[in-house]
Amino acid sequence: RQFPGLDASARYNNQGFRDLPIPVMSSLDVAPSDVVVYDGEGYDALRRFLQNNGIEHVLLCGYHADMCVCSTTAGHENLRRDFNVFLVGDAVQATFPANAAAQYATNQAVSFASLDVLVTQASWIIPDALQDPK
């Protein structure tokens, strides 16, 4: 029996799926100008790229708030040393196989992250282009 969270369909196992250093599912369009950073390249490469482009603030969201969003090259454990990091609490999800639903693991991951980084939510974020100039 296949685990319900795994999808071996063409959506995930599409042509070009493994052309990047990390697999990207077909519903994500990767433009030639997009920057893809692989963990194996290390945090120094990511930090240099962000600093060279004048980035000071980083909004983090994604899947595996308890692992990928916190402990990888682009996770808040690294980024918080050099940037103002905000975890977008309603745009992350944690998983724990023993739980029937992700809500408890997500709540725990966001709570632990709040000890080290600021937590925001998507509705509080206003892109510069939408702000009223005064």
In the chain the domains, ranked by start, together with CATH numbers, are 10-41 (no CATH), 42-123 (3.40.50.850)
How far is 94 from 63, CA to CA, in rounded Å?
A: 6
How far is 22 from 37, CA to CA, in rounded Å?
A: 9
Strands 57-63 and 118-120: unpaired
pLDDT band at 91 (very low <50, low <70, confident <90, very high): confident
Contact 56, 83 (CB under 8 A): yes
Q: Strand, helix or coil at 91? A: strand
pLDDT in tens, 35-50: 877 787 889 999 999 9
User: pTM higher than 0.85, yes or no?
Assistant: no
Report the mean per-residue pLDDT for the chain. Answer: 78
pLDDT in tens, 15-37: 665 565 555 555 667 788 888 77
User: Which amino acid is it at 117?
Assistant: V
pLDDT in tens, 36-89: 777 878 899 999 999 999 999 999 988 888 888 888 888 899 999 999 999 998
